[in-house]
Structure 1
Amino acid sequence: MPLPRLGTRSVRARTSPVAVAVLAGVLVLALGGALLAVLAGGGRHGRAAGDGPRRITVEVSPSRCGRGWTRPEPGVQTFDLHNTSNGAAEVYLEDPGTKEVFGEVEGIGPGTTRQLTVRLGTGTYAFACVPDDADAVTGPRVHVAGGRRGPGARPVTGHDLIPPALAYQRWVAGGLDDVVRLTTRLRSAIDDGDLAAARAAWLPAHLRYEQLGAAYDAFGDADARINGTDAGLPEGVRDKDFAGFHRIEYGLWHGEPAARLRAPAAALVKAAAGLRDGWAQTRMDPAQLGLRAHEILENTVQFELTGRTDYGSGSNLATARANLDGTRAVLSRLRPLLTARYAGLTGLDRDLGRARQLLDGFRHGARWTPLGDLTRAQRERTDAALGQLVERLASVATLCDPRRTA
Structure 2
Amino acid sequence: MSATTRRPAAARRLAPLVTVGALLALPVLSGCTDNTRSANDGPSADPRALTVSASDTDCAVSGTQAPSGKLTFTVTNSGSKINEFYLLAGDGLRIVGEVENIGPGITRDLVLTAPAGSYFTACKPGMVGDGIRAPFTVAESGQAGATDANDGELVAAANANYASYVRDQTDQLLSKTEEFAAAYEAGDDAKARALYPVARTHWERIETVAESFGDLDPKMDLREADLEQGQRWTGWHRIEKDLWPQRAKGYKALSAAQRATFADDLVKNTKTLHARTRDMTFTVDQIANGSRGLLDEVATGKVTGEEEYWSRTDLYDFQANVDGARIGFEGLRPILASRDKALDTQLDARFSDLQTLLDQQKSGDGFKSYDAVSKSDIKALSDAVNALAEPLSKLTAAVS
Q: TM-score, normalised by structure 1?
A: 0.61
- Equivalents in 2 of 1:293, 1:61: separation in Å? 27
The alignment status of 1:180 with 2:174, answered yes or no, reads yes
Percent same amino acid at aligned positions? 23
Please tell me whether the aligned partners of residues 24 and 105 of structure 1 are also in contact (alpha carbons under 8 angstroms): no
Q: 2:12 aligns with which of 6, 10, 16?
A: 6
Residues 203 and 210 in structure 2, CA contact (< 8 A), matched pair in contact too: no
- State the partner residue of 1:369: 368
- Structure with higher Rg: it is 1
The answer to whether the Cα contact below 8 Å between 2:29 and 2:290 also exists between their aligned partners in 1 is no
Q: 1:9 to 1:231 in 2, by over 3 A?
A: farther
Cα RMSD (Å): 4.0
Structure 1 partner of 2:121: none
Q: 2:300 aligns with which of 294, 299, 302?
A: 302
Deviations 1:217-270 (A, max 9, x none): 5444223222222344245xxx66222111111111016356232221111111
CA distance in structure 1 between the partners assigned to 2:170 and 2:15 by the alignment: 18
Q: Which letter does structure 1 place at the counterpart of 2:356? A: Q
Q: Kindly state the Cα deviation for residue 204 of structure 1 after the two structures are TM-superposed.
A: 0.4
1:305 offset after TM fit, Å? 1.4
Give matches, 1:230-309, under 5 Å.
230-234=224-228, 241-254=232-245, 256-257=253-254, 259=256, 260-284=258-282, 286-309=284-307
Partners of 2:171 and 2:197 in 1: CA distance: 16
- State the match for 2:356 in structure 1: 357
2: distance between equivalents of 1:384 and 1:107?
A: 26
Gap change, CA 1:9 and 1:182, over 3 Å in 2? farther
Correspondences of 1:185-200 after superposition (within 5 Å): 185-200=179-194
3-state SS of paired residue (2:309): coil
Mapping of 1:44-63 within 5 angstroms?
A: 60=45
Cα shift readout 1:112-137 (whole Å, capped 9, x = no counterpart): xxxxxxxxxxxxxxxxxxxx97979x
CA distance in 2, matches of 1:87, 1:311: 41
Match of 2:245, SS state, is coil
DSSP 3-state at the match of 2:377: helix
Change over 3 Å in CA distance of 1:310–1:339 after alignment to 2: same
Residues 1:12 and 1:198: Cα distance change in structure 2 (over 3 Å): same
Secondary structure at the counterpart of residue 318 of structure 1: helix
* 1:316 aligned residue: 314
User: Which residue of structure 2 aligns with residue 171 of structure 1?
Assistant: 165
Matches within 5 A, 1:323-362: 323-342=321-340, 343-362=342-361
Aligned positions, number = 289
Tell me, in whole angstroms, the C-alpha distance in 2 between the residues paired with 1:320 and 1:296.
9
Structure 2: runs of 5+ lacking an equivalent: 1-7, 17-26, 48-62, 76-137, 247-252
Structure 1 counterpart SS, 2:165: helix
Q: Distance in 2 between matches of 1:332 and 1:249?
A: 33
Superposed, 1:151-230 pairs within 5 Å as 156=147, 161-230=155-224
Q: Distance in 2 between matches of 1:331 and 1:194?
A: 39
Instruction: Classify 1:134/1:280 alpha carbon distance in 2 versus 1 (closer, same or farther; 3 Å).
Output: closer
Q: Deviations over 1:182-224 (max 9, x none)?
A: 0111111112211111111111001121111342354442232
Is contact 1:7-1:228 (8 Å) kept? no
Q: CA deviation at 1:23?
A: 3.6
Q: How many angstroms apart in 2 are the aligned matches of 1:208 and 1:399? A: 28
Alignment of 1:66-81 (within 5 A): none
Q: One-letter code of the match for 2:375?
A: R
1:294 alignment partner AA = R
- Partner Cα separation in structure 1 for residue 243 and residue 221 of structure 2: 15
In 2, Cα distance between the equivalents of 1:105 and 1:280? 29
The Cα offsets for residues 8-37 of structure 1, whole Å up to 9 and x where unpaired, read as: 89999979xxx5xx5442xxxxxxxxxxxx
* 1:391 match: 390
**What letter corresponds to residue 316 of structure 2 in structure 1?**
A
Report the AA paired with residue 391 of structure 2.
R
